[in-house]
Structure 1
């Protein structure tokens, strides 16, 4: 199949619809879905995502 990238994207969008918004994997449903594994300790992945969001929200220096 010889299809350009733009055409492939158009075909996939027509087939599947638009891509969902970016969501945070562990906490996309609210609380971390793995919280019971850490038994009261914060999930390291969720903590890293929280720090990343904080950095993204800060204005550039």
Structure 2
């Protein structure tokens, strides 16, 4: 039997003048969220950042547990 274990979302931000990405991870995100909602989270984090940044990517990681 497959059961949902955890969903995480990581927003990667690119700072101007730097090649290094700034990452912000959110754990325990609701499962089955639409793509537009995940991308909107990236936009919100971008606006809240203390420096001028752009969203490089948003990564959704979903974990399932399989039991016999």
TM-score greater than 0.5 by the shorter chain? no
Greater strand proportion = 2
TM-score, normalisation: structure 2: 0.28
Greater helix proportion = 1
